[in-house]
Chain A
Amino acid sequence: MEEALAPLLPEGSIRRGTAVAVSGHGAMTLAVALTAEASRRGSWVAAIGMADLGVAALAERGVDLERWALIDLPGATRSRSLMADAEGAVVDGFDLVMLGSAARVGGATARRLLARMREHGASLVCAIGGASTDIVAGLQPEVRLMITQTRWTGIDNGHGRLLARQAEVTIGGRGAASRPRRMPVWLPSEDGRVACAELARTSASTLDLGLQDLRERRAG
């Protein structure tokens, strides 16, 4: 779990066997950022039903592309049970699974998937974009991250270019996350990082303090 995003989740990371739903404009960027650290540490990530995921953006989030697999579900020609089997197989083999809005899971399928996730300790990140979080209700997402407001900077009327995006994320969900909170997040910031806004500002000084602490301890 990316440290810069830890404040978004009640436990600072995605709990194994649970799902996180990300919705709103910028859901794809935030969802990928949530998985980036895990893939860098050697976990495999599978993205199901995300035929439109931008690979260049994936790399910019610092994802280890060699540990990513993309699984397409060419919709209508596939039977639902086949899709459910495929999703189940992925959950069996991967620590972290991303689900796009093309992968609809509901009812009994969702319950079975959830049971397999718990059994294997796999986590799910659902990037559902503009769709209602109801479509993943069956997966009982423990945390819901709703991107409610976004503002792009660097672009004007005919000038500049897209540079950075400030977003406000409303955090809701079950258990520890049931009390809604709001948090400003860079999606991404000017230096290309996806991070909670306060943390991004203070990260440099925190680092300095940490180094000073280390020096003092060494001296002592």
Chain B
Amino acid sequence: MMAVRLGASHADDWEPVAAALEQFTPEAEALRPGLHAFGARGPSRYFGGERALAELVAKAVAGAMPSASRAGVGVADGLFAAGLAAKAASASTDVLVVPPQQSQPFLVDLPLISLHDPVSPLHGDEDGAEALLDVLWRLGIRTLGDLAALSEADVLGRFGWTGLLAHRLACGLDDRPLQTEAAGEDAGAEAEIDPPADRIETVAFMARALADTMMARLDRDGLDCMSVNIEAHSDSGHASHRRWRHEFRFNAPAVVDRVRWQLEGWYRSPERPAGPITLIRIKPCAVAPANGRQLGMWGARSEADERAAKALARVQGLLGAEAVTVPHLAGGRRPADTGRRVPLHAAGDADRGQDSSATGPRNGKKKKKTKTKVVDAPWAGRLPAPSPAVVPPQPEPVVVTDCEGALVTVGGRGEASAPPQRFTDSAGRSQAVTAWAGPWPLDERWWRPSARRRQARFQLVLNDGSAHLCVLESGRWWREATYD
């Protein structure tokens, strides 16, 4: 298996890379934008060995990327080891070939959290993968080598199917060979889009119905799907054809995500389609018997959850995926930092991104714990509750003056030049300040001159009873939030 991995900052420009891989194999699969894999055995024979092939691929990928970015190419027996080898390679040499049967020695020193990497089937939280990693961590298992050293029977007995999978991965035994057989072929679905759609959201909305159909057919046959072909045709006769692999198994929303990624990549690429999209086709291409992992009869999603999810999908179709966000608490000192809005389709990854620096693995419970930890960490200088209920996306420029009409400033000792007396908003409406508190200085990121921010914050209560959080920065006043 060969894996190609782009740096996170360049993952959006993955389409040329996928195209470059096509000169080596017709069966390259994308796991997500910027993470691609294909079976290396055949091509490596033709191109003169795995290392020669890996170097050719690295060169082709570097040529396909317009910007100077790092891409790693890794070769190993299974996808898991190959993906981690590519990750290691992108940090140093660009190419890392793990010889046959040597996956386990390669994996031995990698941290346990590697089981949470996007190439791992335990990437999501299905079947309690996160709980498993959390327990293993608390049992003192720190590396994949520690896990591999346990007896397989003990792991299976204690942790069940998920534990066994983790153990096999740690041992370098990847359960998922590349499948190209035609099983599940008839489960595919396609739809003509009439009138042709020129917005990705419209296509994604139709793809949802196709994905539901496909998953229902696979369910009927008792199959899980790990890999799908997605084809999109445009009015102008262009077509985009990609194969996507899921690190675990697809469900309908995951298929729709891939459709979205593929179209976004297509529209960004030099071969972008000239006209609107007329046809979308989804076909499973690697299936396996569903091994009895069914949703619980209770404790799964409620009917209300399903209804809400459907409504949100519909709204995303109308207004665009970015229009729907979920609130998310984060660490920080300013109101705009402590509460964030995360796009719905990225919500599952929100914690992940935030905790990337955390050393331990997490699970559902732990996730909350970690979140609370970050949020409740002593952010010195954060204003205590109550928090402002209205936080505009952009602060509003305002003017705060003293009794003589001069702008209120804050001196080097952190004292206001004079009590604030009048407040004038950006529309020119002026009001008397009836009560005020502050200034509270805030000096963030003083260690990096370019990102440094020095502010003095005030709470101002105005004549009409409204209260505002105003900040003074570089001699200018802003209304950052309102205690509405």
Using CB atoms and an 8 Å cutoff, list the residues of chain A in contact with chain B.
Answer: 25-29, 32, 42-44, 46, 51-60, 65-74, 78, 82, 85-86, 89-90, 92-95, 129, 149-152, 155-165, 188, 192
Contact = CB atoms under 8 A, between A and B. Distances in A.
Interface of B: 302, 304-305, 307-312, 314-315, 318-319, 322-329, 335, 338-341, 344, 383-393, 416, 419, 435-438, 459, 461, 464-467, 481, 483-484
Contacts of A89: 311, 314-315, 318
Contacts of A151: 465
A71 to B, nearest CB: 6
Contacts of B464: 25
Contact of B315 (A71, A150, A157): A71
Given A151-B465, A161-B384, A72 B304 contact: no
B484 to A, nearest CB: 4
A158 B414 CA distance: 13
Contact of B302 (A42, A85, A92, A162): A42
Nearest to B309: A93
A11 B393 CA distance: 37
Contact of A162 (B307, B392, B437): B437
B312 A52 contact: no
Interface of A, secondary structure class, is mixed
A60 B465 contact: no
A194 to B, nearest CB: 10
Contacts of B390: 28, 52-54
A92 B484 CA distance: 29
Contacts of A44: 304-305, 307-308
Given A54-B387, A72-B319, A73-B323, 14 more contacts: A29-B483, A44-B305, A52-B391, A58-B327, A70-B341, A71-B315, A71-B325, A74-B323, A78-B319, A82-B319, A92-B314, A93-B312, A94-B307, A155-B436
A65 B328 contact: yes
Instruction: Find the residue from A93, A95, A149, A165 having the highest chain B CB count within 10 A.
Output: A93
B465 A53 contact: no
Contacts of B309: 93
Contacts, number: 177
Q: Nearest 9 CB-CB pairs, A to B?
A: A93-B311, A55-B339, A56-B387, A44-B308, A28-B389, A57-B389, A54-B391, A150-B465, A28-B484
B304 A54 contact: no
A56 B329 contact: yes
A152 B325 contact: no
Contacts of A55: 327-329, 338-341, 391
Instruction: Find the residue from B302, B328, B339, B464 having the highest chain A CB count within 10 A.
Output: B339
A86 B318 contact: yes
A189 to B, nearest CB: 10
Contact of B325 (A69, A160, A161): A69
B304 A95 contact: yes
Given A69-B324, A73-B319, A54 B435 contact: no
A165 B482 CA distance: 13
Given A78-B319, A155-B461, A94 B308 contact: yes
A25 B465 CA distance: 7
Contacts of A66: 326
Given A27-B484, A129-B484, A32 B389 contact: yes
B142 to A, nearest CB: 31
A72 B339 contact: no
A51 B393 contact: yes
B481 A54 contact: yes
19 contacts: A26-B484, A44-B304, A44-B305, A46-B311, A54-B339, A55-B328, A55-B340, A57-B339, A67-B308, A70-B327, A72-B319, A74-B323, A89-B318, A93-B308, A93-B310, A94-B311, A155-B437, A155-B467, A162-B437
Contact of A90 (B304, B315, B338, B416): B315
